[in-house]
Structure 1
Amino acid sequence: MRIPEDVLRAAGPVAEWCEDHEGLSGDVWRAGSSYVKRSGAAEHTRLRWLGQHFEVPEIRVFSGDWLVLADVGAPSLTKADPVLAGTVMGEVLRALHSLPVTSCPFDAGVAVLVEEARHNVEAGLVDPADFDDDNLGATPQELLDRLVATAPPSEDLVVTHGDFCPSNVLLRPDGSTVLIDVARLGVSDRHRDLALVHRELSGQAADAFDRAYGRTPHPPALAWYRLVDEFF
């Protein structure tokens, strides 16, 4: 694997590149004070757009399909107090979902998600061993057939993150937040994000999120968008 010179310069003089971070935008390495992503084109364009509205990691270099991002230096909400984590996530998601959809150029509607899921199944990119417990034993094609058959007839469109979970919301000591791993950001039904939140949070964290977000989700929509996530 040949790494472009401008990527190496931006990453800085490090003795070792550590592949210790998993992201949706492709291969990810921790290199000194940077994160280096391969196949980061989708995330690059979304970071540039989202950065007009929210704090996101600084882009140090984008070269070909290589993306170098500065380490924000703030922890995620993964190990935060449950009430704090749920509250912050609810407030951030409410703000994100309040952005005007007409300003966002990225389409992640039902038709787009279904076609991306179909592509991933046909390309052999869906691993059934990674399915949620209630889908274990099913084949990717069986899940795709179910996805198509149960697709919602309408959408409550907002600007969605696409992978909204505690690990992708960073919280600074001053209370400000940073959104990361935005390669799947786009206009979609709000339940695309809510499905992952309700999968990841429980108990006090889930209750705090619901209070901060301020809307009651629709269970069938949660189930469909959670099914969508099995293909990515």
Structure 2
Amino acid sequence: MEIPGEVLAAVGEDAVWSNEHEGLSGDVWRAGSSYVKRAGVDERDRLRWLGEHFEVPEIKAFANDWLVLADVGAPSLAAADPVLAGTVMGTVLRSLHALPVASCPFDARIPVVLDKARRNVEAGLVDPEDFDDDNRGVTPAELLERLIATAPEDEDLVVAHGDFCPPNVLLRPDGSTVLIDVSRLGVSDRHRDIALVHRELGEEAVDAFTRAYGLNPRPEMLSWYRLLDEFF
């Protein structure tokens, strides 16, 4: 791979590169005191916007879809006590969803995400081997038909993270949090985030999340947004 000079300068010429690190894989590397991602402008622009409201990693460099982020120096909630993880995620998500929808320039409403899901299927980017157990044996095209046919008619719009799961919430010892992996952030139904929380956390942690978030979700919306996530 040809790595842009701006990226190499930001991480340091002597930095050791590795893709073996907590919760990350694929086109994400640890390089010295930085993380390097093949992320594109979607994540760069969303980090800049969200950084006005929440703590996010500092952007050290961006060139040719290579994004260099400073190491925050905090662990994610992936290995935290389940009740603590649920409580923190509920508190953070309640604050995120309280941001004014009109202030967010990124659109992730149903027509937009359905179009992205279709394009991902057409481009061969949806792997049926990664489907949840209840969707195994179905082709991406067949699952897309189901997704479109069962799309909700209304949306309870908020500023949604889009990939809200324990590895994407970092927790400092002082209790402050940092949000990462925000390339899907945008105006969407609140259940897009809540569905992933329910999928990722056990029952006890989900109960803690619900108490902190303050809303009992609609089961049919959780099911649809879990189905949507199969395409991303």
User: What CA distance in whole angstroms lies between the structure 2 residues aligned with 1:167 and 1:39?
Assistant: 17
Call closer, same or farther: CA 1:198–1:129 in 2, change over 3 Å: same
Structure 1 position 40, deviation (Å): 2.7
- TM-score by length of structure 2 reads 0.96
Which residue is equivalent to 2:160? 160
Call closer, same or farther: CA 1:145–1:180 in 2, change over 3 Å: same
Call closer, same or farther: CA 1:15–1:47 in 2, change over 3 Å: closer
**1:214 equivalent in alignment to 2:223:** no
Paired letter, 1:152: P
**Secondary structure, aligned partner of 2:17:** coil
User: What CA distance in whole angstroms lies between the structure 2 residues aligned with 1:49 and 1:199?
Assistant: 27
Structure 1 position 82, deviation (Å): 1.2
Deviations 1:134-190 (A, max 9, x none): 101110001000000000000000000000000000000000000000010000000
**Secondary structure, aligned partner of 1:61:** strand
User: What CA distance in whole angstroms lies between the structure 1 residues aligned with 2:162 and 2:20?
Assistant: 22
Q: Any conservation in 2 of the 1:10–1:61 contact (CA below 8 Å)?
A: yes
Identity percentage of aligned residues: 73
Paired letter, 2:167: S
**Secondary structure, aligned partner of 1:231:** coil
List alignment gaps of at least 5 residues for structure 2.
Answer: none
**1:202 equivalent in alignment to 2:202:** yes
- TM-score by length of structure 1 reads 0.96
User: What CA distance in whole angstroms lies between the structure 2 residues aligned with 1:161 and 1:34?
Assistant: 22
**Structure 1 residue ranges, 4+ long, deviating more than 6 angstroms after superposition:** none
List alignment gaps of at least 5 residues for structure 1.
Answer: none
User: What CA distance in whole angstroms lies between the structure 2 residues aligned with 1:2 and 1:228?
Assistant: 34
**1:79 equivalent in alignment to 2:89:** no
User: What CA distance in whole angstroms lies between the structure 2 residues aligned with 1:102 and 1:224?
Assistant: 25
User: What CA distance in whole angstroms lies between the structure 1 residues aligned with 2:29 and 2:108?
Assistant: 27
Aligned residues: 231
Which residue is equivalent to 2:138? 138
User: What CA distance in whole angstroms lies between the structure 2 residues aligned with 1:198 and 1:15?
Assistant: 38
Q: Any conservation in 2 of the 1:164–1:197 contact (CA below 8 Å)?
A: yes
User: What CA distance in whole angstroms lies between the structure 2 residues aligned with 1:179 and 1:38?
Assistant: 18
Q: Any conservation in 2 of the 1:192–1:225 contact (CA below 8 Å)?
A: yes
User: What CA distance in whole angstroms lies between the structure 1 residues aligned with 2:137 and 2:110?
Assistant: 25
Which residue is equivalent to 2:122? 122
Call closer, same or farther: CA 1:183–1:195 in 2, change over 3 Å: same
Q: Any conservation in 2 of the 1:164–1:196 contact (CA below 8 Å)?
A: yes
**Secondary structure, aligned partner of 2:146:** helix
